[in-house]
Amino acid sequence: MIRTTFTEMFGVDHPLVCGGMTGLGTAELIAPVAEAGALGFLTALTQPTPEALAAEIARTRELTDRPFGVNLTILPTRDPVPYDEYRAAIVESGVRVVETAGSSPEPHLPDFKAADIRVIHKATSVRHALSAQRKGVDAISIDGFECAGHPGEDDVPGLVLIPAATRALDIPVIASGGLATGAGLVAALALGACAANMGTRFMATDEAPIHDNVKRQLVANDERDTVLVFREFRNTARVARNEVSESIREIGSRPGATFADVADLASGARGRQRVLADGELDGGMWWAGQSQGLIHEVAPVAEVVATIMAEAERLLGSTLPELVR
């Protein structure tokens, strides 16, 4: 058993995280992650209303009595999001840990702190991580350039970013981006992190609430099958390579292009419905990290977690039965 600051702080068996993934962070996936001894996050904005989020939290509790959290991603949107109401649903539901991402978590911290909720903030640079630490978050998930989603604009990979963050910060650091194996977990620990966050790896599980076509494509893809889009708009995102993402990249490179020129192709609702739900792999934009090149099978969550931890423990060696940070 590998024990770290993370396992002690969050009361889980393994220093392993299934971070918030829009459209995937539902009870079907997060309850098995919790049952396997890792920490998973429901995604607040996957639910259409704060009331629906409260119901999803309750539904997850019916499936597991192990710890899990809620991700609250704070981003500018065309239609205003009632963040205060989502925050209230989290607090009133008795959630003990929240993962924040996107904009500053500062407006939400007083209510979370008053409710004794621990906050992990996802950052893509040391400077942003330090800012979040000053604001009072409890831990940082530092997201390397290899990650799915938004890696920031600095293009610093995890091999550099993780130790840079752990050296600069006084609070626990979770490594994120490009991780999908036990070897990756051991590397993250060696670089100073206390846990590893894996998103893409948990997409390729039996329980992930997405179409089997997507899961099979993740296995078929290699580390080259992602594309960076929105770079011209300073909102860089790493997504799976397909006809839509290649079109977005080509349109965005045209002189004078604006986000409005790609908004329909890049629609999150389109990707969730046509790709994740219907299995039309070229039907929209969908997220994947470079770690898809390390995924070789679709398996149950419990098996994925057990395999990762067995590999990590084997690499650490039988003379190190416990790792305490």
pLDDT tens, residue order, the chain (325 aa) = 899 999 999 999 999 999 999 999 999 999 999 999 999 999 999 999 999 999 999 999 999 999 999 999 998 776 789 999 999 999 999 999 999 999 999 999 999 999 999 999 999 999 999 999 999 999 999 999 999 999 999 999 999 999 999 999 999 999 999 999 999 999 999 999 999 999 999 999 999 999 999 999 999 999 999 999 999 999 999 999 999 999 999 999 999 999 999 999 999 899 999 999 999 999 999 999 999 999 999 999 999 999 999 999 999 984 444 544 4
Judge whether 260 lies within some domain. yes
Separation between Cα atoms, residue 196 and residue 18, nearest integer Å: 9
Task: Give the distance from CA 285 to its chain's centroid.
Answer: 17
Judge whether 215 lies within some domain. no
Judge whether 322 lies within some domain. no
> What pLDDT, on the 0 to 100 scale, is given for residue 79?
77
Same domain membership, residue 54 and residue 74: yes
pTM (2 d.p.): 0.94
Same domain membership, residue 248 and residue 138: no
Separation between Cα atoms, residue 38 and residue 196, nearest integer Å: 10
**Residue 294 Cα distances to 108, 204, 302, 315, angstroms:** 36, 11, 18, 17
> What pLDDT, on the 0 to 100 scale, is given for residue 325?
45
> What pLDDT, on the 0 to 100 scale, is given for residue 318?
47
> What pLDDT, on the 0 to 100 scale, is given for residue 247?
97
Domain that holds residue 268: 226-287
Element spanning 100, H or E = strand 97-102
Same domain membership, residue 176 and residue 92: yes
Here the CATH number for the domain that contains residue 79 is 3.20.20.70
Number of structural domains (the chain) is: 2
Same domain membership, residue 62 and residue 171: yes
Strand-strand pairing, 195-197 and 173-176: parallel
Judge whether 217 lies within some domain. no
> Residue 318 contacts by C-beta under 8 Å, 6 or more apart in sequence?
none
Q: Which among 53, 110, 58 has a CA at the least distance from the CA of 85?
A: 53
Separation between Cα atoms, residue 25 and residue 47, nearest integer Å: 9
Same domain membership, residue 311 and residue 164: yes
Same domain membership, residue 107 and residue 37: yes
Task: Give the distance from CA 283 to its chain's centroid.
Answer: 23
Same domain membership, residue 61 and residue 185: yes
The maximal CA–CA distance of the chain, rounded, in angstroms, is: 60
> What pLDDT, on the 0 to 100 scale, is given for residue 324?
45
Judge whether 141 lies within some domain. yes
Q: Which token pair is 266?
A: 């890049």
> What pLDDT, on the 0 to 100 scale, is given for residue 317?
86
Judge whether 324 lies within some domain. no
Same domain membership, residue 260 and residue 188: no
> What pLDDT, on the 0 to 100 scale, is given for residue 75?
83
Element spanning 302, H or E = helix 301-316
Judge whether 312 lies within some domain. yes
> What pLDDT, on the 0 to 100 scale, is given for residue 80?
87
Same domain membership, residue 307 and residue 201: yes
Separation between Cα atoms, residue 162 and residue 68, nearest integer Å: 24
Separation between Cα atoms, residue 277 and residue 92, nearest integer Å: 31
Same domain membership, residue 231 and residue 110: no
